[in-house]
Amino acid sequence: MKPGLLTTIQDLGRHGYQKYGLAVSGSADPYAHRMANILVGNAKEAALLEVTLMGLKLLVKEPAVIAITGGDLNPVINGKETPMWTSVHVKEGDVIQFKGPRTGCRSYLAVTGGIDVPKVLGSRATDLVGQIGGLNGRMLKKGDIIHVFPKSLDGRRGRKLSKDLIPQYENNINIRVILGPQDEAFTEEGIKTFLSSTYIVTKDVDRMGCRLEGAIIEHKDTADIISEGIFYGAIQVPKNGQPIIFLVGRQSVGGYTKIGGVITVDLPKLGQVKPGDSITFTEVTIDKAQEELKQQNQIFKILSATC
């Protein structure tokens, strides 16, 4: 009925094609994505809707079970507030609407069965730059009909995620990082500045990356390197000394020094930041990062088996 500010179909990304210049894409908050699918009984990679900020309005054409996770964009069904992080039954004629952000900036709407669009290079994710995946590589528009794969709805309504597993989306966040791969290109004072300063998210934040503004991070010499692959969560510092964090829609390569990388379990936080939010960084070890990831994967495994 209304497409909203930016609504796309996403799965967990198109992997293996960065060497050809294609973005991985996929959901900007993979934690919320996976939890939404768990709640409706889908596989973790099933395609769903990524809703940005506000405005999406949907008419339900067939009975379904849905779950809405991620940032709280004030979702309502037939004008009444609907619970998040819970599976909910909707019937033909129901209207689902997202009225505007209260916390975070992206919600995820999963439907039992998963959204049925063709796979392109192994993924249903929408790549807006490459214009592939989803619905012809574009955001939703008024009049689109979204099909889902058939699946039994029995026993799937009323599932809830425990409160301790629901993220708190705040305006001031701390991100844990591992230094490198070019941390030797920065002065000792530059590293100290990076780890002790508060950086503000600028208006230049989207699915591709998050440009920050704050204390200048000092290089020893130059910010230039021979162009190399850019990984998810890479923190690049060009010659102006202002960090840029690369996200799911990032380009394949870049030619500036990278001072660190965001650990995997903290990446979803970056999918929820808005202009004006603040970010601080804390260094952790690789062992700590791996331990956190193992614990999170164990939670996903247990929930997938019980839901």
Q: Which helix (H) or strand (E) segment is 35 a member of?
A: helix 30-40
pLDDT for 189: 98
Coil, helix or strand for 98?
strand
Average pLDDT, the chain: 96
Whole-angstrom distance, CA of residue 190 vs CA of residue 192 = 5
Q: At what angle do helices 286-306 and 30-40 cross, to 10 degrees?
A: 20
Helix (H, G, I), strand (E, B) or coil at 110: strand
Residue spans of alpha helices (H) in 62-166: none
Tens of pLDDT along 289-307? 999 999 999 999 999 887 6
Quick one: CA dihedral 242, 245, 251, 254, positive or negative? positive
* HEC-encoded secondary structure of 160-219: ECCHHHCCCCCCEEEEEEEECCCHHHECHHHHHHHHHCCEEEEEEECCCEEEEECCCCCE
Q: What is the pLDDT of residue 155?
A: 64
- CB proximity list for 209: less than 8 A, separation 6 or greater: 244, 245, 246, 247, 249, 250
Give me the pLDDT at residue 307, please.
65
Alpha carbons 97 and 58: distance in angstroms, whole number: 6
Are the beta carbons of 190 and 219 closer than 8 angstroms?
yes
Q: What is the DSSP letter of 289?
A: H
Residues with pLDDT less than 50, the chain: none
> Closest Cα partner for 231 from 3, 10, 12, 23?
23
Which DSSP helix (H) or strand (E) runs through 296? helix 286-306
